[in-house]
Structure 1
Amino acid sequence: MSIKDIDDIVVHDISKFRPQEDISLDSTKKKIVEKIKLQLKLNNTSIRKLAEKTGMKHPQILRVTSGENYNIETLIRILDALNLEILIKEKDKNSNDQLMNTAAL
């Protein structure tokens, strides 16, 4: 393979090369972010007001609402301030199989 051949290689869908666990985690984070943003809107609360209410800094709240990495304590404080909670349950096998089939496309 020549250098020219290497330059011709294009990856069109990087998600095909990501581990299944990463895709599932991204989906879960997206759901959490969407629920937090919806609750903020329903409560007519800004990120700055939420930061004041939780005693956290504005950038910490932004990290969560933008789907960046954050720790569980930060998440719990935000959820508590928004009157939300985490529900842990066993995954529905069918939805997990569907996610795996989607990722394989």
Structure 2
Amino acid sequence: MTPEFLDKQWIKIIILFPIGFGFMWIWFKTGYTIENHFLKIEYGPIKKKIKIDEIHSIRETTNPFTAPALSMDKIEITYARFHTISISPKKKMEFARLLLKQNPYIKT
């Protein structure tokens, strides 16, 4: 049995609209760019910059619990000191080549 105030349509809209908007923002604003020796990651409202010189290794992964990635087919990047992030660029191999071009010491 649901509380009586949740039976009102406008309450549902007020509660669900921000959640839906957040999911849409993440879905349409997830992207990765390589620019000025930085890997820039945009994931909805979250933005992250990683120095390409600090990247130690990249490898393929399908771990569902690492983000920001919209796909299960991802690249896991280890950088700085004990930091890891996974991304899912459309052309993984080409993206990895671009990173290796700027930092040939990245282990694959």
Q: TM-score range by the shorter chain?
A: under 0.3
Query: Taking structure 1 as the reference length, what is the TM-score of the superposition?
Result: 0.26
**By percentage of residues, which structure has more helix?**
1
**By percentage of residues, which structure has more strand?**
2
Query: Taking structure 2 as the reference length, what is the TM-score of the superposition?
Result: 0.26
Structure with bigger RCO (C-alpha 8 Å, 6+ apart): 1
